[in-house]
Structure 1
Amino acid sequence: MVIRKKLMLLVSLVVILASFMAACSSTFTSGSGDKKGKIVIGAAMPTFDDKWMSYLYDAMKATAKENDVELKMVDAKNDSSKQLSQVETFVTEGVDVILIATTDPNAIQPAIDAAKDANIPVVLVNRKPSEKVIKQVYAYVGSESIQSGTMQMEEVAKMLGGKGNVAIIHGLSGDEAEIKRTEGNKNVIKKNPGMKVVREGTASWQRAEGMKLMENWIQSGDKIDAVVSNSDEMAIGAIQALEAAGKLNSTLVASIDGTPDALEYIKSGTLKVSAFQDPMAQGRKAIEASIQAAKGEKLADKHVWIPFELITKDNVETYVEKWKNAGK
């Protein structure tokens, strides 16, 4: 009997000790219950079906791996309600930080509220919402759209000698990038009285739409000295239409983003200028800011800007190399 009692006491002590150890270890795990205590980032992305964004995602994954961080990335398929549901799932899972590239900057507030109610910090990347929203999050990582439109049009003004008729191709109406890139364009034109906007229209960031819009402008018969596009894809469409009409040699074309496709057109001389938006730097900085958020570190500024860089035929090879090294 004495031996049995001692055995039962020993078993009880082992059970109590095991429970105590489990309780202690749980206090050191991340919010998602990761047993290694890793920082866990829930990344709600707008779409996986976007070439430029794919470089941003690859940089996020590489930076997370380098820092031993768990990254859970989901695709909203450009659906705001789906993205909200995904953020709510991250909240339920108890991730440490929620990183969002919003499907719609004007519809992001419910997702911010869901994270805020759970005391989970939010980092936004690439697609800039209003300053009101940015004040509610830990950080916004991206490139300042007005800067790209300004540097793009300044180079066009220089190439035209401050004189000429300009057509502006807009991205999707209402997008922050569309608004601010165009604003930058027009600020420069105001400073050059010899330049004027003769045509404007939207091609919704699409190459095919850029071609269609340019075809319509060509048929109008208006004299156009420069076509200034909010993005490379729309500019490439315009180039194809101008080339087909035999008007490319007399029309300067400029764009923004500095994608690999656009660089080929710059090398050939058919696209004169672009402004490089760096997805690799945005992805890297987004993860770094998320890690800082998880650690409770303070940022001097909620805006983490990745500057645009001007690309012309003179420096295009530098950016060809950047894209080549993007996945390394």
Structure 2
Amino acid sequence: MKTKKILALAMSSLLALSLTVGCTNTSKEEPAAEGEKTYKVAYIARAQGDSFAAWLANAVKDEVAANYKDVQVDIFDGDSKNEVIASHIENAVTKKYDAILLQPFDSEAQVAPAMAAMDKGVKVITVNNRINDNDRAAAVDADPVDQAAKNAKLALEQVPQNGKVVVLMGPAGNMHSDKRREGWEKEFFAKRPDVKILDEQIANWNKDEAMRLMEDWIQTHGEIDAIISMNDNMCVGALEAAKAAGKTNILSYGVDGTAEACLAIKNGEMTSTTLQSAYELAEKAVKLTYDVMTGKVERDTIMVDCPLITKDNADEFIEIHKKAGNID
């Protein structure tokens, strides 16, 4: 077991190195004048294999390259492992980064390494999730309860009487997953006691895990009226399994507003999602990181909006993805 952990950390470090090669500041603006400080930022993504996390990491890289000539950002892959993320945080301290911009995977597990980094003088800013019991780290986020509630209110009208649903959760301990589930409980399950939850499982934001779960659920339960997912990636995975089984009339709800989800909604394959724009998160998170590093602010929490995306307005968000190069 110890050998496997060492190998996993080694592989993650190699991946981080390969990502770093292409992710330092490549702004076309003039470089910082000689003698001026160049700020070093370590961006730690929860998992580059997660479509939203990859979207956000790319948006952070692009935002720095376009607008911050005196900032170097290096991107590291957390690989959905708390020990890997902790190692990246420790390495950022050792290598004297000015700031860590962290996309937390586990809101509790990242508290100790983040606080240790701050104790050693490295600024920590979180984006697209926050860490628990913290009044020190600045943050840019969206309201996960509201993200779920907007979908849940739509589902109230759409899920049939005595409907049967399955629920896909993000990682254990992830605040966004837990709070989205709270939003569904308050706005849907508490108001629809007729609805039966066939099963509820953790799929770790992962499409493949969600696909395997959905395959099992179809085998076990047969008819399923709705997929209630805490993010788009899992929702799309479950829908792919349903499609392969010949079941194409299942309602499905996600969160993120990824390009893949927006296309699925336009094509009538997915019902709705709520947007948390990686572009807006990146813009605000990089600016907040810069303001904290330069002493303009000590700490702030900034929230972004989360509009509902349905077939009626999917084209608007597909166009945004096209302009950003996420859709050809």
Structure 1 length normalisation: TM-score?
0.77
235 and 110 in structure 1: CA distance in 2 versus 1, 3 angstrom threshold = closer
Partner of residue 326, structure 1: 324
Partner of residue 106, structure 1: 108
Pair 1:216-2:216 in alignment: yes
- Would you say the 8 A contact 1:87–1:114 is kept in 2? no
Partner of residue 3, structure 1: none
- Cα distance between partner residues in 2 of 1:189 and 1:254: 12
125 and 38 in structure 1: CA distance in 2 versus 1, 3 angstrom threshold = same
Q: CA deviation at 1:205?
A: 2.5
Partner of residue 277, structure 1: 276
Q: CA deviation at 1:311?
A: 0.7
Structure 1 residue matching 2:263: 3-state secondary structure: helix
- Would you say the 8 A contact 1:41–1:99 is kept in 2? yes
Q: Which has the larger radius of gyration?
A: 1
**Which letter does structure 2 place at the counterpart of 1:274?**
T
**Which letter does structure 2 place at the counterpart of 1:279?**
A
Partner of residue 263, structure 1: 262
Pair 1:302-2:303 in alignment: no
- Cα distance between partner residues in 2 of 1:101 and 1:221: 36
271 and 222 in structure 1: CA distance in 2 versus 1, 3 angstrom threshold = same
Pair 1:313-2:311 in alignment: yes
Q: CA deviation at 1:221?
A: 4.0
Pair 1:174-2:176 in alignment: no
- Cα distance between partner residues in 2 of 1:169 and 1:262: 16
Structure 1 residue matching 2:164: 3-state secondary structure: strand
Unaligned runs of 5+ in 1: 1-33
302 and 205 in structure 1: CA distance in 2 versus 1, 3 angstrom threshold = same
Q: Pairwise mapping of residues 1-328 of structure 1 onto structure 2 (< 5 A)? A: 35-65=35-65, 66-78=67-79, 79-130=81-132, 132-133=133-134, 135-137=135-137, 139-160=138-159, 164-193=163-192, 195-202=194-201, 203-221=203-221, 224-249=224-249, 251-298=250-297, 302-327=300-325
- Would you say the 8 A contact 2:198–2:221 is kept in 1? no
Structure 2 residue matching 1:305: 3-state secondary structure: strand
- Cα distance between partner residues in 2 of 1:308 and 1:235: 18
- Cα distance between partner residues in 2 of 1:248 and 1:113: 47
- Cα distance between partner residues in 1 of 2:239 and 2:69: 45
Structure 1 residue matching 2:41: 3-state secondary structure: strand
**Which letter does structure 2 place at the counterpart of 1:129?**
I
114 and 152 in structure 1: CA distance in 2 versus 1, 3 angstrom threshold = same
Q: CA deviation at 1:163?
A: 6.5
**Which letter does structure 2 place at the counterpart of 1:215?**
E
162 and 187 in structure 1: CA distance in 2 versus 1, 3 angstrom threshold = farther
Partner of residue 13, structure 2: none
Aligned pair count?
A: 290
Which segment drifts farther, 78-87 or 145-154?
A: 78-87
- Would you say the 8 A contact 1:198–1:224 is kept in 2? no
Q: CA deviation at 1:212?
A: 3.0
Q: CA deviation at 1:220?
A: 3.5
Structure 2 residue matching 1:248: 3-state secondary structure: coil
Q: What is the CA deviation profile of residues 89-108 of structure 1, one whole-angstrom value per residue up to 9, with x for unaligned ones? A: 43344433222223433222
Which segment drifts farther, 53-62 or 221-230?
A: 221-230
121 and 193 in structure 1: CA distance in 2 versus 1, 3 angstrom threshold = same
**Which letter does structure 2 place at the counterpart of 1:294?**
M
- Cα distance between partner residues in 1 of 2:244 and 2:297: 55
**Which letter does structure 2 place at the counterpart of 1:168?**
V
Structure 2 residue matching 1:298: 3-state secondary structure: coil
Q: CA deviation at 1:288?
A: 0.4
**Which letter does structure 2 place at the counterpart of 1:115?**
A
Q: CA deviation at 1:280?
A: 1.3
Q: Structure 1 stretches (4+) deviating beyond 4 angstroms?
A: none
Identity of aligned residues (%): 26
Unaligned runs of 5+ in 2: 1-33
